[in-house]
Amino acid sequence: MARRWTNRLTHADVTPKSAFLNRRQLLASGMGLGAMSIAGGLQASETLEPNTFEQITTYNNFYEFGTGKDDPSKNAHKLQTEPWSIEIDGLVETPVTMTFDEIASSFETEERIYRFRCVEAWSMVIPWNGFELADLLDRVTPLPEAKYVQFETAVQPKNMIGVKRGVLDFPYREGLRLDEARHPLTILATGIYGEPMPNQNGAPIRIVVPWKYGFKSIKSIVRITFTDEEPFTTWKDLNPREYGFYSNVNPNVDHPRWSQATERLIGGGLFNARQDTLMFNGYEEEVASLYDGMDLTKQI
């Protein structure tokens, strides 16, 4: 475990349900929201509590298993996760293939309680278990011209109803600039709430990049490829105006079809109030410097 970034939230923040119901009321009263938008950043996350395991595992986007939010939890049991391995290739000195078991036994996991902001303007707070992606990337020596990494999700047409229907150009692919990939907030997650990663959440291993829209946090990965140019990414290829390569959470840049200024935190019921979306999803202090000199309204 690299410990480059210390999680100020501990297991004690995984609040029992009875306690967080009271806190929700406090938040809903507006006091909480006000304090949050002033303090921003990590302070905000300390006033939040994770969503329930049920919410996290039954409200998902995983188009390989259908486009409905409840489709992945119904269909993802078919995902074949054994055996599983990840190939690390592209612009590296020696490509390697690691089995999931090798990976799981090589890296010690820690809990990371992150905000998760979907591009569709809803959000959750999720207690991931994982380790920093940088630790895995350190297993290979990239060539000097490597600037990006591309990730690829498994394709199992027989087991994936969305792949059969051709909802997207599968395999699903995502990518990061190398410095984003090596950022201590970027993790490979293997579990939620201390449980092995549920299939619908991207078993057995997935990326989590908490300051970007959720679709960048690619699930069930089988390949990591180092490249010198910006790699193909699935949503950008489908609609570059709507889904940029960076896709940093940004309340000031709207999705062409809806506003990104506010979001709805899942779990507040039928009368749930919207809350302000935070720049970089509340991780501005940690990641803003990655984008120094960039016009984030143009390079979306």
Partner 1 sequence: MGLADRINQSARKLPTWPLYLIALAYAAYQFWLGLSGVWIEPINTLERQYGEAALILLIAGLTVTPIRMYLGINLIKFRRAIGLIAFFFLCAHLLVWALLDVQSVSRIWADIVKRPYITVGMVGFLLIVPLAVTSSNSVIRRMGPVAWRRLHQLIYPAVLLGGVHYLWLAKGFQIEPVAYFTVIVLLLVLRMKRLRQWITAPRST
Instruction: Give the footprint of partner 1 on this chain (CB under 8 A).
Output: 54-55, 58-59, 63, 67, 69, 120, 122, 165-168, 238, 254, 257-259, 262, 264, 266-267, 269-274
CB of 189 to partner 1, least distance (A): 20
3-state DSSP of 196-216? ECCHHHCCCCEEECCCECHHH
CB atoms within 10 A of CB 254: 12
CB-nearer residue toward partner 1: 8 or 164: 164
Q: Which amino acid is it at 271? A: F
CB-nearer residue toward partner 1: 54 or 101: 54
Q: Which amino acid is it at 74? A: K
Residue 278: exposure state from Cβ atoms within 10 A (0-12, 13-18, ≥19):
buried
CB-nearer residue toward partner 1: 16 or 269: 269
Tokens (6 digits) for 100: 């999931």
DSSP secondary structure letter of residue 92: B
CB of 299 to partner 1, least distance (A): 22
CB-nearer residue toward partner 1: 190 or 275: 275
CB of 242 to partner 1, least distance (A): 8
Tokens (6 digits) for 160: 């994936």
CB of 126 to partner 1, least distance (A): 14
Across the beta sheet with 221-227, what order do the strands follow?
96-99, 85-90, 221-227, 148-153, 173-177
CB-nearer residue toward partner 1: 168 or 288: 168
CB of 12 to partner 1, least distance (A): 25
